[in-house]
Amino acid sequence: MAALTEEQTLIKDQATSWASAEAPVSKFRAMRNEGAEVGFAELTWSAMVEMGWTGILVPEEYGGSDLGYLTFGLVLEELGKQLAASPLFASAYVGATALLLAGNDTQKSSHLPRIVDGTEIVTLAVDEGPRHAPARTACVAKAAGDKYVLSGTKTLVLEGMSATHFIVVARSAGSVGDAQGLSLFIVRADVAGLSRRPMKTIDSRGYAELSFNGVEVSDADLMGPAGQAGEVLDEVLDRARAGIGAEMLGVGSQAFAMTLDYLKTRKQFGAVIGSFQALGHRAAELFAAMELARSCGEAALQEIDAQSNSVAKACSLSKAKVGDFLHTMSNQLIQIHGGIGMTDEFDAGLYLKRARVLETLYGNQAFHRDRYARLLGF
């Protein structure tokens, strides 16, 4: 754990005890079993709003506490440990980040306070195909006087069924594959021509597929200059990646803790299985990988807070290294638990399923290795 300030330690402790008492993994399981379409429990979400977590990134003038990304990461990590589901990340982290970086004063003052008080859920709609590839945006924004007309689709939109607003990445110039020509619009979920369908995924969260059929938005809904959102979108996505990294550290460290506990208690061949050197070494390797991944994950959040000029590299490093660790860890969670690990009744499967979704969101390990190499110029 990074060296924390007193305030950060308090928030982390609060998140740890709240998550284990009020939003343990059994609560997520119950929500899954009920098949809640939005993919979270209302009471869990309203408690988070009350605790002020929705304002961690938001400046005080908009009703937030402006405590920064590392602090938010601490909360996301603790929630990740319990698989606590809510729109916190999609709206108060990614949505708020997009507004802070790309929004104008009017957009900020109309949405940020409502993100903080939970009356709005603002989420980013970026991906369209099977792979995360912002440059391959095909959703078109056609200028028509002081309006734009949006046509196209979006897939795997986080908290898409409960969202009140979407921040939509659309192409106002260039062709598919072009990193240039992208624009950002903030679009009401109930606007005419926009329809959404739930997507049932392995991790039982609330994702939506959106289709835009001639959706009219006004100039006032455009965030930043038209056709020039590529760079700021990258900055938003990088912050999102670092936040996902924090949650992944939580999921992975919990998977490690469960595995270690099992190694210390499960007996086979007349001995605790953790006394077998093959398993002891595997645990040591996993632990070392976790420590290295944690350094990368925390460094990304710290670089964002420090507004350093190597945020992009740090975030790709985080998503790739934390992703590698979580991938291995979630597989070993099942393998080391043996048969019990395969049952739905045991929690291991829930962690494995969440792990794969987190890995793919905003670019998997391969995406970020490629990006890291490009950032280094080769």
Residues near other proteins (CB under 8 A) are 1-3, 260, 263-264, 272, 274-277, 280-281, 283-285, 287-288, 291-296, 298-299, 317, 320-321, 366, 369-370, 372-374, 376-378
Cα torsion 61, 67, 69, 72 to 10°: value is -110
Q: Ramachandran region of residue 227, left (φ > 0), alpha (ψ -120 to 50) or beta?
A: left
C-beta of 159 vs 298, nearer to other proteins: 298
Q: Which C-beta is closer to other proteins: that of 104 or that of 265?
A: 265
CB of 172 to other proteins, least distance (A): 25
Q: Which one, 263 or 350, has the nearer CB to other proteins?
A: 263
Which run of H or of E encompasses 54?
none
Tokens linked to 41:
């429990």
Report in angstroms how near the CB of residue 352 gets to other proteins at its nearest. 22
CB of 358 to other proteins, least distance (A): 18
Look at residue 166 and give its three-state secondary structure: strand
> Residue 340 CB, nearest distance to other proteins (Å)?
20
- Minimum CB separation of residue 303 from other proteins in Å reads 10
What is the nearest approach in angstroms of other proteins to the Cβ of residue 299?
5
Place of tokens 């603002």: 122
What per-residue string of b and e applies to 100-129 under the rule 16 or more CB within 10 Å gives b?
Answer: bbbbeeebbeebbbbbbebebbbbbbbbbe
Between 320 and 361, name the residue whose CB sits nearer to other proteins: 320
The nearer residue to other proteins, 141 or 283, going by C-beta atoms, is 283
- Closer residue to other proteins in complex, CB, 33/309: 309
For residues 39 and 199, give the distance between their C-alpha atoms in angstroms, rounded to a whole number: 10
- CA torsion angle 212 217 223 229 (round to 10): 40
